[in-house]
Amino acid sequence: MSANSLDALAPSYIKGFEAYIPSKPDPELKKLFGCSTLYRLNNNENPLGPPPAAQEVLLRFPPPRAATYPSGDSYYLREKLAEKHKLHPDQILVGNGANEVIAFVIKAFCESGDNIITADKTFAVYEWVAIFSGFEARLVPLQDFAFDDEAMLRQVDSRTKILFVCNPNNPTGTYWDRAKLLRFLNTVDNRQIVVVDEAYFEFVEKEDFPDGMTLIKQYPNLVVFRTFSKMFGLAGLRIGYLAGNLDVVNVIRRACVVYSVNTLAQEAALLAMDDEEHIRRTRQLVRDEKAYLHQELTRLGLPFVMNEGNFVMIKLPLSDTLAYRKLMKAGIMVRTMTGFRYPNYIRITIARHEAMEALINGLEAILKQV
């Protein structure tokens, strides 16, 4: 196929979209940067791994079962999630990670000429999926590192179909309390779909933090996202889910890809979700290491954004991409934030203490070179 014919086939919104390039596998990165160990502080993963019961599922999975298709609609997992959240199983859809459930919602409700609204500095996949699907993404600047509810509402027009709110927000960790979320939902008044992405829900211990699942009955236009990738340590199995009003979910179901969630993911998630001790241990680790980072980053004179979630943003007096290369040589992998519209910031995942000490040592060495 010639370049000209390929160019004619690809829509303009695809040709103008920059593909996301994932990082190389860990062994390749170690060879590239000459480091013998690698602390992964770039993807907000849980350093404790999956809960013990989920680990048993992985260890004891019978290989012959790999030849059998999984439950096409994650039947047993939806049953258990429905019981947990006091919903009907048909109000829940399970997908291959958060990216897929985001795509389900956008493809179900948007058509040519429509738009979605979200923040300019949040989880980028809302914007990406809209754009590469041919829809407009209206991005509202954060205010004091938080979603600006009033500015989002001012962007709404007759072609707005979905408003995405990441609560707490990745990468800033700020959140809307219950009162603010309810005001927003009441103002929207069922005219658009409101998606509240609660990927980091289990990390938040604030009393005024809202549980979106409990609001679904009151707000039929509300769709809530959750994931097993973060707190439950199943990022490698790619499993997330959404919940909402039955009529809304039945529309989304038409855009849903069945059989996309593998058997291991379903069964590990089924056993992971009830492990309160795993949640307690993870929260304790996050609290302890945030306190350590607060102390050490203050000592180093580095500004930082530390709120809810298992991550922290740090502002550096040099290019974030240069800092990435320098830290990688010390075996410390961070997330550069220029691509997320935070130039000279890095985002780091809260991990075990040895990793946090390595990060501080690496930053201290960099600062001596500036």
For every residue of the chain, which 3-state class applies, written as one string? CCHHHHHHHCCHHHHCCCCCCCCCCHHHHHHHHCCCCCEECCCCCCCCCCCHHHHHHHHCCCHHHHHCCCCCCCHHHHHHHHHHHCCCHHHEEEECHHHHHHHHHHHHHCCCCCEEEEECCCCCHHHHHHHHCCCEEEEECCECCECCHHHHHHCCCCCEEEEEEECCCCCCCCCCCHHHHHHHHHHHCCCCEEEEECCCHHHCCCCCCCCHHHHCCCCCCEEEEEECCCCCCCHHHCCEEEEECHHHHHHHHCCCCCCCCCHHHHHHHHHHCCCHHHHHHHHHHHHHHHHHHHHHHHHHCCCEECCCCCEEEEECCCCHHHHHHHHHHCCEECEECHHHCCCCEEEEECCCHHHHHHHHHHHHHHHHHC
Q: Encode pLDDT of 217-270 as tens digits.
A: 999 999 999 999 999 999 999 999 999 999 999 999 999 989 999 999 999 999
Check which CATH number belongs to the domain holding 169 and give it. 3.40.640.10
Q: Encode pLDDT of 288-341 as tens digits.
A: 999 999 999 999 999 999 999 999 999 999 999 999 999 999 999 999 999 889
β-strands 345-349, 311-315: how paired?
antiparallel
- Statement: residue 6 has pLDDT above 80: no
pLDDT at 267: 97
pLDDT band at residue 193 under the 50/70/90 scheme: very high
Please name the amino acid found at residue 185: L
Residues 141 and 190 in one domain: yes
CA distance 28 to 24: 6
- Statement: residue 3 has pLDDT above 80: no
Residues 30 and 108 in one domain: no
Residues 168 and 122 in one domain: yes
- Statement: residue 370 has pLDDT above 90: no
Residues 62 and 187 in one domain: yes
pLDDT band at residue 9 under the 50/70/90 scheme: confident
Residues 40 and 128 in one domain: no
Residues 215 and 240 in one domain: yes
Averaged pLDDT for residues 275-294:
98
Check which CATH number belongs to the domain holding 296 and give it. 3.90.1150.10
Residues 175 and 63 in one domain: yes
Query: Could you give the number of structural domains in the chain?
Result: 2
pLDDT at 2: 63
Residues 218 and 69 in one domain: yes
Residues 106 and 254 in one domain: yes
Residues 220 and 82 in one domain: yes
Residues 156 and 87 in one domain: yes
pLDDT at 335: 97
CB 237 within 8 A of CB 268: yes
- In DSSP terms, 12 is beta-bridged to none
- Statement: residue 141 has pLDDT above 90: yes
The per-residue pLDDT of the chain, averaged, comes to 96
pLDDT above 70: percentage of residues in the chain: 99
- Statement: residue 1 has pLDDT above 80: no
Where does a domain end: 244, 272, 300?
272
pLDDT band at residue 181 under the 50/70/90 scheme: very high
Averaged pLDDT for residues 340-355:
97
pLDDT at 319: 96
Q: Encode pLDDT of 44-61 as tens digits.
A: 999 999 999 999 999 999
Residue-range definition of the domain harbouring residue 336: 3-49+276-369
pLDDT band at residue 352 under the 50/70/90 scheme: very high
Averaged pLDDT for residues 130-144:
96
Where does a domain end: 272, 299, 325?
272
Residues 226 and 341 in one domain: no
pLDDT at 270: 97
Sign of the CA dihedral 272, 273, 277, 278? positive
Where does a domain end: 245, 272, 299?
272
Burial class (CB in 10 A: 0-12, 13-18, 19+), 267: buried
